[in-house]
Amino acid sequence: MTELSQPSARTRVTPAPGTEPGATVTDDREAALALLFDLHYTGLLRLAVLLGADDAENIVAEAYYQLYRRWQRLRGPEAALAYLRSVVCNLTRMRLRHLQVVRKHAGPATDPVAVASAESIAMVQDDQRVLIEALRRLPGRQREALVLRYWLGLRESEIATAMGISVGAVKSHTARGIATLTKVMEVRR
């Protein structure tokens, strides 16, 4: 994933004579969001897909909208990517929970997540497909921790921030997830 560069957003620009300060802040926000979108949209879209979202584009668009609304309350431009990542994780978890409830009430019908998963993993190799399938069957927290750790390469403290849990819990989820996947791969051999 591309790294967040330091955009000139949020730097206090003195408005030119004759321009309103409010307009400068809005333009500033628009410019910063355009840059963030350009740099990180694809990465966040991939993150949502890897976490198992069936409508990754909506989830990422919603995350950017949340950032757009709360732009003034952001600690700084360097916090934007961590915030977006966290929102994508939360929204994906909520979406999967919602789908579980819908599935429970609807009975044995077509599972949209399964359909989306089947489409997205059609291109990977056979053993990788088994691993992805096993990853999808893991509990949500374990899946999130593994994706953030092994795909994004985040540190445990960063994963803890993104997931809103303690570093100890991150270690536990990661270890349990890897142990389950190892067992699946051993059974396959």
Partner 1 sequence: MIGGPADTEERLREALDALANGVHPAPHAYGRARQEWHRRERRRKLILAILITVVFVVADAIGLWALNRTQVDSPVIFNWPTSVIQHKPADGTGPP
List interacting residues with partner 1 (CB under 8 A).
30, 33-34, 37-38, 41-42, 45-46, 49-50, 56-57, 61, 64-65, 68-69, 120-121, 123-125, 127-129, 131-132, 135, 146-147, 150-151, 178-179, 181-182, 185-186, 189
Between 49 and 163, whose beta carbon lies closer to partner 1? 49
| First CA to last CA distance, the chain | 32
In angstroms, what CA-CA distances link 163 with 84, 118, 139, 185? 12, 26, 14, 27
Between 66 and 90, whose beta carbon lies closer to partner 1? 66
Coil, helix or strand for 101? helix
Q: How far is the CB of 180 from partner 1 (least distance, A)?
A: 9
Between 48 and 160, whose beta carbon lies closer to partner 1? 48
Q: How far is the CB of 56 from partner 1 (least distance, A)?
A: 8
Other C-beta atoms closer than 10 Å to the C-beta of 148 total: 26
Closest to 134 (Cα-Cα) out of 182, 175, 92: 182
Closest to 48 (Cα-Cα) out of 2, 99, 86: 86
The HSE-up count of residue 50 (CA atoms within 13 Å, CB side) is 22
Q: How far is the CB of 159 from partner 1 (least distance, A)?
A: 14
Q: How far is the CB of 11 from partner 1 (least distance, A)?
A: 22
Between 103 and 151, whose beta carbon lies closer to partner 1? 151
Q: Which two tokens stand for residue 83?
A: 């915030």
Between 120 and 172, whose beta carbon lies closer to partner 1? 120
Q: How far is the CB of 43 from partner 1 (least distance, A)?
A: 9
